[in-house]
A and B are shown apart, each in its own frame.
Chain A
Amino acid sequence: DAKTTQPPSMDCAEGRAANLPCNHSTISGNEYVYWYRQIHSQGPQYIIHGLKNNETNEMASLIITEDRKSSTLILPHATLRDTAVYYCIVGTDSWGKLQFGAGTQVVVTP
Chain B
Amino acid sequence: NAGVTQTPKFQVLKTGQSMTLQCAQDMNHNSMYWYRQDPGMGLRLIYYSASEGTTDKGEVPNGYNVSRLNKREFSLRLESAAPSQTSVYFCASWGWAGSYEQYFGPGTRLTVT
A104 to chain B, nearest CB (A): 11
Q: Which residues of chain B have a CB within 8 Å of any CB of chain A?
A: 4, 31, 33, 35, 40-45, 48, 50, 58-59, 88, 90, 92, 94, 99-107
Q: Say whether A11 faces chain B, with CB atoms less than 8 Å apart.
A: no
Distance in angstroms between the alpha carbons of A42 and B103 in the assembled complex: 12
Decide if A100 touches B42 in the complex (CB within 8 Å): yes
1/0 contact string of A13-53 vs chain B (CB within 8 Å): 00000000000000000000000100001111110010000
Q: 10 A–B contact pairs at CB < 8 A?
A: A43-B4, A43-B105, A43-B107, A49-B99, A95-B50, A96-B92, A97-B33, A100-B35, A100-B42, A101-B42
**With A42-B107, A43-B107 given, is the CB distance from A97 to B58 under 8 Å?**
yes
Interface of B is mostly: strand
List chain A positions with a Cβ less than 8 A from chain B: 36, 41-46, 49, 87, 93, 95-103
| CA distance in complex: A44, B106 (Å) | 9
The residue on B at minimum CB distance from A105 is B40
Task: Give complex CA distance A87, B43 in Å.
Answer: 10
Shortest Cβ gap from A45 to chain B (Å): 7
Residues of A within 8 A of B100 (CB): 93, 96
Residues of A with C-beta under 8 A to B48 = 95-97
- Which residues on the B side are within 8 Å of A36 (C-beta)? 102
Question: Contacts A95-B48, A95-B94: A46 and B103 contacting too (C-beta < 8 A)?
Answer: yes
Is A98 a contact of B45 with CB atoms below 8 Å?
yes
Expressed in whole angstroms, the Cα–Cα distance for A68 and B47 within the complex equals: 30
For B58, list chain A residues within 8 Å (CB).
97
